[in-house]
Amino acid sequence: MRIDILTIFPEMFDSPFGHSIIKRAKNKGIVKIFIHNIRDYSLTKNKNVDDYAFGGGAGMVMMIEPIALCIEKLKSERTYDDIIYMSPDGELLNQSIANHLSMYNNLIILCGHYKGIDERVREAYITREISIGDYVLSGGELAAAVLCDSIIRVIPGVLNDETSALSDSFQNDLLSPPVYTRPANYKGMKVPDILLSGNEKEIQKWKMSKAMERTALRRPDLLSDDD
Ligand code: SAH
């Protein structure tokens, strides 16, 4: 999978993409991530990427031209499955969106800043808009990193234990059951006996019942048949 990210702060991705599972996925060649500095596509003398909003009001708006030039260059090189704009008014990211996007070959993700991007970019180029939650961030970079992480970890071959992502919360509309590791007894706080029993069938039953219990308690909405 190839992901092209458009941003005015490329360095913000150094850390989230330089460690752990995403780093491993890149090293294995399963995912290639290209970060494009929108400023490089500015045609103005001072390499401007934003300007005052027409009609007034506080906050700068990201200009259409550099973004359009960058997207058009990428589109001339290959076909993209989606061109996503990270935006608080987009569809709310969830596991099924992440699973779906993980099957793509080529993806563009556009990060906004300031008051957002010129609406004409959204109309002309953007095919999907995604929010990571009902709050406003200063820029789309952290949101894009969250989106990429959620996508990349479910691409087959990225996690060592193939079943690991499948048993995470939300994959089957259930939250994950509690997990424990050594020591089995820490200052009198004991791991449930069943997990030490070696009885695989009973352990699976226990995990399922704990997952159900936790979901009913914390996220009963996941158990309803509404969607
Ligand atoms: N004026 C806009 C917010 C702009 S915030 C509004 O009120 O809707 C600046 C940038 O941060 C946005 O262009 C977007 O790319 C990103 N951003 C902010 N909050 C986000 C969220 N919850 N999910 C995804 N991206 C977000």
16 vs 169, which has greater pLDDT? 16
d(CA 99, CA 77): 26
Indicate the average pLDDT of the chain: 96
Testing ligand 1's pocket by substitution, the residue of 85, 87, 89, 138 carrying the most ligand atoms inside 8 A of its CB is 87
Query: Hey, what are 93's tokens?
Result: 């990211």
CA distances from 46 to 64, 65, 111, 157 (A): 16, 14, 21, 44
pLDDT tens-digit map of 61-92: 999 999 999 999 999 999 999 999 999 999 99
Q: In whole angstroms, give the CA distance from residue 48 to residue 51.
A: 8
In the chain the domains, ranked by start, together with CATH numbers, are: 2-152 (3.40.1280.10), 172-222 (1.10.1270.20)
For residues 140-155, average pLDDT:
97
Pocket test for ligand 1, best of 5, 12, 86 (most atoms within 8 A of CB): 86
Nearest CA to ligand 1 atom 18: 137
**pLDDT value at position 227?**
55
Quick check: CB of 217 below 6 Å from ligand 1? Answer: no
State in Å: Cα 122 to ligand 1 middle: 13
Q: Say if ligand 1 is within 6 A of residue 36 CB.
A: no
- Residue 143's nearest CA partner among 102, 175, 113 is 113
Task: Say if residues 1 and 31 touch (Cβ distance below 8 Å).
Answer: yes
What whole-number percentage of the chain has pLDDT above 70?
98
